[in-house]
Amino acid sequence: MKYKEFIYCAIDFKRISEAKNILSKIKNHIGGIKLGLEFFIANGLKGIKLIKKYNLPIFLDLKLHDIPITVFKSLEAALDVEPEYISVHITGGSKMIELITKKKRYTKLIGITMLTSLEQDDIKSFGIKVSPKNYVKKLAEIAYKNGLDGIVSSPKELKYLRQTYSKKFIIITPGIRLNDDINEDDQKRIQSPGEAVFNGSNILIIGRPITKAKDPIKSLELIDKDINQRLNRL
């Protein structure tokens, strides 16, 4: 697995036993683990401590979004388990971001831009009149200027974002599907793993193509192959 460092598997399970089952199979073939709200609400910080025993970096994708002091205190609690990354919504505002970035920490703070399930019509219904690209562009600018370590963004905005920001500004990319899977999906702004890495993603968040596969290792090998082929295409 030449490119496994790019691959963070989304462990979207309520039961620890299910998480352990898949991780015991793939732990040597991935670069990290993404734990989201479903896992966190069911298992809390205790569950995260159990997953840390696999000695893989953890992206705690909580998408914190509230008034500044509430996010700050929530972050303090979450930092006890020292995840590699934790996510907050950039739309929480500059004051929220300024407050949480003052906290001394090991964990890198990652801003959520626009969810991959949303499209132009969705943000238009919110009263946002710009294109998804320009909306993400503005949110990324707020994140960068206010000291976040990186952002979560769909593959569709990757090319522009990486042209604007150096590799030190982390871009985490959900909405990753192998070409055979890009037909019906609840995530709309999606792309293959190879294209996403080529366009500048630091980390790919991949869940169902791995966890729902009959053979997760084979699926990971196909992901690795897709990245290799795209990066080495003449």
Please state, in angstroms and rounded to a whole number, the distance separating the CA atoms of residues 100 and 168. Answer: 19
Instruction: Determine how many CB atoms are found less than 10 A away from the CB of residue 100.
Output: 23
- Respond yes or no: is residue 214 known to be catalytic: no
E strands in 146-187: 150-152, 170-173
Q: How many domains does the chain have?
A: 1
Note down pLDDT in tens along the chain; length 234 residues.
Answer: 789 999 999 999 999 999 999 999 999 999 999 999 999 999 999 999 999 999 999 999 999 999 999 999 999 999 999 999 999 999 999 999 999 999 878 999 999 999 888 888 999 999 999 998 999 999 999 999 999 999 999 988 999 999 999 999 999 999 898 865 545 454 555 789 999 999 999 999 999 999 999 999 999 999 999 999 999 974
Rg (CA), the chain: 17
Q: Which helix (H) or strand (E) holds 184?
A: none
What pTM value is reported for the model? 0.92
Q: Out of 4, 20, 63, 137, which one is annotated catalytic? A: 63
Phi, psi of 160 (to 5 degrees): -65, -45
Joined tokens for residue 124: 């238009």
Burial 60-95 (b: 16+ CB within 10 A, else e): bbbbbbeebeebbebbeebbebebbbbbbbbebbee
CATH number of the structural domain spanning residue 184: 3.20.20.70
Closest residue by Cα to residue 228 from 191, 181, 192: 192
Domain that holds residue 31: 4-232
